[in-house]
Copies of this chain bind each other. A is one copy, B any other.
Amino acid sequence: MPERKPRADAVRNREAVLAAADRLFARSDSPEHVSMADIAAEAGVGKGTLFRGFGDRTGLIRALHETRLEPIRQAVVDGPRPLGPGTPPAERAPALLDALLCFKLDHRHLSLALEEAGSGSPYGAGHYDWWHDTLRGVLEDLPGFGDGDFAAHALLAAVRADLVDHLVDRHGASRERLRAELAAYTAKLLHGSYQDVRTAHAG
């Protein structure tokens, strides 16, 4: 099956749509108020073009999210300290969460849209499984941490887009304050189990 190469106007429109969606999500106060028709109008194309190119609303949001997340993904898969794979786990786990938090702060409405889009939840839409697998692996490399499956879920839940949004909007939390609190929380969790290990070895 030979790869059909897409037409020039198709790729142009695709870019225009992604750019328009990004603008509208960033501008709007709530992503659910950005309709597909709005995006089409902003991009200067017909609605049919959206659905032809991305399947449905979820597909569009996912595609947009993917392009924005790619740098971070690369940094985690194959990058330098502290995100890359060469980092010791006690340093890498907080770094991963911090990076994710920063991403959600920088792309609040887009992240919000994505987590709403996935048929009602973030699980299954977006790169949740990838994040979870990665974080879980790092946690389980910590000596004595044990099963990291649930802990990874719980830690990822602590940086969910709607929680971040709530803390920023309602509580007026600043970026640095949130990062500090997340770091403190993570440290409390990891430090605790690490101390358990030292205690066990000592006893």
Residue numbers of A with Cβ under 8 A of B are: 30-32, 112, 116, 119-124, 146-147, 149-151, 153-155, 157-158, 160, 162-163, 165-167, 170, 181-182, 184-185, 188-193, 195-196, 199
Q: A185's contact among B119, B150, B162, by CB below 8 Å, is which?
A: B150
State whether B199 touches A195 (Cβ < 8 A).
yes
Q: Taking CB as reference atom, which chain B residue is nearest A187?
A: B192
**Cα distance A163–B157 in the bound complex, in angstroms:** 8
**Cα distance A196–B195 in the bound complex, in angstroms:** 9
**Cα distance A193–B121 in the bound complex, in angstroms:** 32
State whether B189 touches A122 (Cβ < 8 A).
no
State whether B151 touches A188 (Cβ < 8 A).
yes
State whether A112 touches B120 (Cβ < 8 A).
yes
State whether B188 touches A192 (Cβ < 8 A).
yes
Q: Is the interface of A mostly helix, strand, loop or mixed?
A: helix
**Cα distance A167–B151 in the bound complex, in angstroms:** 13
State whether A158 touches B154 (Cβ < 8 A).
yes
Which chain B positions have C-beta within 8 A of A146?
A: 184
**Cα distance A123–B199 in the bound complex, in angstroms:** 39
Chain B CB within 10 A, most for which of A162, A188, A195:
A188
Shortest Cβ gap from A49 to chain B (Å): 27
Q: Taking CB as reference atom, which chain B residue is nearest A191?
A: B192
**Cα distance A157–B165 in the bound complex, in angstroms:** 13
Excluding A150-B182, A151-B188, 8 further A-B contacts by CB distance (< 8 Å) are: A123-B166, A149-B181, A153-B158, A154-B154, A158-B158, A189-B189, A191-B192, A195-B196
Which chain B positions have C-beta within 8 A of A153?
A: 158, 163, 167
Which chain B positions have C-beta within 8 A of A149?
A: 181
**Cα distance A184–B153 in the bound complex, in angstroms:** 13
**Cα distance A18–B79 in the bound complex, in angstroms:** 54
Shortest Cβ gap from A189 to chain B (Å): 5
